[in-house]
Amino acid sequence: MAKMLLVDYEKCTGCRLCELVCSVKHTGASNPSRANVHVVKWEDEGFYLPMLCQHCLEAPCRSVCPTDAIYRDEELNRIMVDYDLCIGCKACVAACPFGAMGFDEAEKRVIKCDVCDGDPLCVRFCDMKAIDYVEATTSHFDKMRDASRNFAELMAKAHGQ
Amino acid sequence: MDFGSFAEGPLLWIVFSVFIIGILARVVFFFSLILKSSKNTHLRWRHILATFGRSLLPFHSAITKRPLYAALRYVFHICLIVVPIWLSGHITLWEESRFGWNWHALPDALADWMTLLLLLLAAYFLTRRIVVAEVRRISANSDYFLIVLTALPFLTGYLLTHGNLDAIAFLADNMRTIHVLSGEAMLIAAVLLFYRTQLNVEKCTGCAACELGCPTGTLESRDGGGLRVFTYSHYQCICCGACVALCPEQAAELRHEIGLERFLQTVPKQEIRSVELALCESCGAIVAPVPQVEKVRQVITDDFIRFCPKCKKRHSAEGFHQLAPWAKKLKKQISHQ
């Protein structure tokens, strides 16, 4: 069974350790701006939300990629970038609605979450398990679907449609 | 001494020495450029050499874009180099010269066919350049001139060996001189032959993938003042075709260009394209060039492309933030205080 990253904002303490370990794992440098996960904070309310790639089923980054460098890895249930095909046009960066696609200025290439090939470091270092790597069971999918439905409604309201 | 024997004698030797010295100078320029670039972090001489070598092979990636045209171009250049060097008539001349050099010649029939093929292809390239509106728009006078100049020695050479042009007395008498002179002009042009990348304004989205792929840093882009400006440092271009191969819109085109200034490396950086940039609606950071945003909008349905990645995170997190029941409660409390 495929696994997926599950975020629980109620557990997140906003320590941003996930950002640090992610950048160390992927770039060798401890630099949160080069990480694939970012914690968005509302400090006065204590609301912290780690934002990372949703590995969408119908991924906008994948549909705009002109060279089909972005593909779905069914085995690990993730969206991946094939750097041999990627030309660095950054269309995916513009397309991703979650801002999960980044561009690493140092390495001159796009970066995104790759679930660390099945052993996500952010999960290992998150003591609260605000980010968890769980079996993609129906109940989790239902939760995600509910959230996205609410989210879509909210966005429609926000844009006055 | 009349002009004909001057063109075949001393002038020919001058042209040969200019050609050899010029080509050697360009090789030196090329390697000095590579050494200079290798100090830069992301341009490495190994990468430059590899890209250059790949571009000489017939199966490099630019070809997959327009396979037929690329194949024709490749055949054209093979004929262009092989026929003059291995033509039996030319070899005889070398044998008679003071060097007494000699090498195996191509069979005459094969040389004839290759010449005809080259002339046919030259005619095709010329017609294509005139007829196809898209190509005509980006052609300069020198583009037409270059094709004619390249074909002329082959045409006159073919007529010399086969032609029966006694009717036109002037042509028949001076064919040999025209042949030698045009050949000399072609050799000089070869030394001064450079390349230039053009970005088709109608197709280019300004994504700057070509800048990332350019192994010598010839193509550069700079963002500022709401514009992305592409500059081109002429003398650095090695005609590897990386920009053509990478461009997802097929907007990049490599063109031949003859210029003494480029040989002397006095041409400054030239601005070849500027694209308007779409800016983030909430923070003003750069999102993407406007044509690329429009292209992405055709595929995706949501409206988050108005924001930069950082603000997108904030805005989509805001959605979850408002969904959180306890946060809502807390917010109310805070606003009450």
Q: What is the domain-level CATH number for residue A64?
A: 3.30.70.20
Q: Hey, is the C-beta of B285 within 8 angstroms of any chain A C-beta? A: no
CB atoms within 10 A of CB B315: 21
Contact partners, residue B165, CB within 8 Å, separation at least 6: B159, B171, B172, B175
Same domain, A44 and A62: no
Task: Tokens 């807390």: give the residue.
Answer: B330
pLDDT tens digits, B246-264: 888 888 888 788 877 777 7
C-alpha distances in angstroms, B135 versus A52, B66, B125, B129, B149? 45, 14, 10, 6, 19
pLDDT tens digits, A60-85: 999 999 989 999 998 888 999 999 88
Same domain, A60 and A23: no
Q: Hey, is the C-beta of A34 within 8 angstroms of any chain B C-beta? A: no
Same domain, A48 and A68: no
In chain B, residues with a C-beta closer than 8 Å to the C-beta of A87 are 209, 212-213, 246, 248
- Mutant choice from A62, A92, A98 vs B, greatest count of B C-beta within 10 A: A98
In chain B, residues with a C-beta closer than 8 Å to the C-beta of A62 are none
Same domain, A96 and A141: no
The region, left, alpha or beta by phi > 0 then psi within -120 to 50, assigned to residue A115 is: left
Which of B207, B316, B334 is the closest to A44 by Cβ? B334
- Say if pTM beats, i.e. exceeds, 0.80: no
Same domain, A47 and A57: no
In chain B, residues with a C-beta closer than 8 Å to the C-beta of A81 are none
Cβ contact A121:A21 at 8 Å = yes
Question: pLDDT grade, residue B148 (50/70/90)?
Answer: very high
Same domain, A105 and A135: no
Distance (Å) from the alpha carbon of B22 to chain A's nearest alpha carbon:
35
What is the span of the domain harbouring residue A148? 1-52+120-161
The answer to whether B312 contacts A150, with C-beta atoms less than 8 Å apart, is: no
Same domain, A38 and A48: yes
Residue after which a domain boundary falls, among A93, A112, A131: A112
Q: Hey, is the C-beta of B317 within 8 angstroms of any chain A C-beta? A: yes
The answer to whether B317 contacts A91, with C-beta atoms less than 8 Å apart, is: no
Q: Considering its fold, how many domains does chain A have in total?
A: 2
Same domain, A41 and A68: no
Closest residue in B to A103 (Cα) is B309
Same domain, A60 and A70: yes
Cβ contact B75:B117 at 8 Å = yes
Q: How far apart are CA B190 and CA A7, in angstroms?
A: 63
In A66-117, alpha helices (H): 91-95
Q: How far apart are CA A49 and CA A51, in angstroms?
A: 6
Q: How far apart are CA B145 and CA B178, in angstroms?
A: 16
Same domain, A60 and A39: no
> How many Cα atoms sit within 13 Å of B51 on the Cβ side?
23
Q: Hey, is the C-beta of B320 within 8 angstroms of any chain A C-beta? A: yes
Residue after which a domain boundary falls, among A96, A112, A128: A112
Total residue length of chain B? 337
Sign of CA dihedral A22, A26, A30, A34: negative
pLDDT tens digits, B62-121: 556 677 887 888 899 999 999 999 988 888 888 888 777 888 888 889 999 999 999 999
Residue after which a domain boundary falls, among A112, A131, A152: A112
ipTM of this complex prediction, to 2 decimal places: 0.86
Same domain, A80 and A102: yes
pLDDT tens digits, B237-246: 777 778 888 8
Same domain, A124 and A48: yes
